[in-house]
Amino acid sequence: MSELSERAENRLGRLVAETQRRCRLPGLVLAITPAYDLVEYFQAGTADCDQGLAAGSDVQFRIGSITKTVTAVGIMQMVAEGRLGLEEPLGDRWPHAPQPALPVGALLSHTSGLQREPVGEVWETLLPPTREELPEKAAEARVLYPSGSFWHYSNLGYALLGELLVQVSGLPWEHYVRERIFNPLGMTRTSMQPAAPHAQGYAVDPNSDRIFVEPAVDTRGIAPAAQLWSTSHDLAIWANFLGQGHPKVLRREELDRMATPRVLADLTTWRLAWGLGLMLLRSGDRTYVGHTGSMPGFLAACFWWPAGGWGVVSLTNATAGMRIGAVASQALDILAEEARPMVPWRPDGAIPREVSSVLGSWWSEWSQWIFTWRDGELVSSPADAVDGSEPERYRPVGVDRYVTVNGPERGEELRLERDSGGSVVKMYRATYPFTREPRTFGQGRNAPR
């Protein structure tokens, strides 16, 4: 169950209504999803002004560059399966690739230096290159600076990643994402082309209240960067997935890797960073993970708040007039102030024998740590941890050996030592000893007491 107070509902409803009116948006929909729970919707205006179509949970909107997160998940599936490496050049797995020296990870994080769009005035002609034309157009593109130097957004880079996915998987991009991603997640209303009911995209005259119908652009060869249509319901599923993972799509450990900052996009205030296909927005001391999107007639945002366990989707059928990511961020700020997800606790007495003597208090470097068994995992936290901070989690990798899967010691080994009776009496993490009582440095096996 979730706890969304009446005050929180009122503030979220007012945010949607006031934003729709102030920014003069034909329609605006906001979806709120706590972990493991149902979705709540807030809407104002219409999805189609001629038909009077309400912006309901099953109405498709164009989601633009949120498509990139789907492509990025596909690439990370290949990485998790050992079929791609993040540091590999594009040309290693794609014979005759254009820009063959650009690393996969740099393309994912927009640090490859590749120019933003394919060669040609794509957004004037509205004729992006076809998939067949893409290699030639990409080969003509400029690399603006050495890979890894700066953040520079590139739709062309994601078009190349989509084709790399085709080359490695052997499936057309649209088939791959449907079979490997959408179907397992139950995202049945996410598609390449609009399927009724769907919103009409508009541009609003800045000097009057007139609206103009925007063309529905087929992105063709750059589809992996921006083509998809989806609903607020499906994107709420996607927000939950980005925060928690799915056993048939991508583990949370890999998604945590995607959400780890690789480059600052905002060098002035440090409020925007980029991971592997994911944006990281900072609001105060909170970080929201996801992506925004825009196409002619549409703006979209989909974000997850890892520390709070909430997801937010915001969609509108207007080309401009607002910062769609700011609305999603404001909604998450309201949730941080007003609501808490309430996931029911369920008792479970099944503690593996091998970890039973690990549980409880330990000391390292004169700091106390508490090791517990929670939701089927061994976890630890400093005794003075701030309420709500995420514990460090451990995955078994051998007899009495674990690997830390998150936090500052991610990837480091936790090794257990036992006495003759089989009880754990000492542990080492990243070579630092953990003992039941505090000890000075050097007070080990052979050191005098």
Residue 356: strand, helix, or coil: helix
Contacts of 352 (CB under 8 A, 6+ apart): 373
H helices of 113-214, where?
122-125, 134-139, 155-169, 173-177, 183-185
- Whole-model pTM: value is 0.84
pLDDT score for 447? 42
In sequence order, the 6+-apart residues with CB closer than 8 A to the CB of 127 are 120, 220
| Record: fold of 353-434 | Lipocalin (2.40.128)
**Phi, then psi, of 428 in degrees rounded to 5:** -130, 130
Nearest to 177 by CA among 30, 185, 380: 185
Q: Residue 382, class by beta-carbon neighbours within 10 Å (0-12 exposed, 13-18 middle, 19+ buried)?
A: middle
User: Are 9-49+57-341 and 353-434 equal in CATH topology?
Assistant: no
Residue 99: its pLDDT value, please?
Answer: 96
Residue extents of the structural domains in the chain: 9-49+57-341, 353-434
- CATH class for domain 9-49+57-341? alpha beta
* Binned average pLDDT, 10 residues per bin, the chain of 449 residues: 75 96 97 80 95 93 98 98 97 96 98 94 91 95 95 97 98 98 98 97 96 96 98 96 96 94 95 97 94 98 93 97 95 87 72 95 96 94 84 96 92 96 96 95 59
The burial of 234, by beta-carbon neighbours within 10 Å (0-12 exposed, 13-18 middle, 19 or more buried), is given as buried
pLDDT of res. 385: 87
Checking DSSP bridges between strand 432-434 and strand 424-429, what pairing results, if any?
A: antiparallel
Amino acid at 70: V
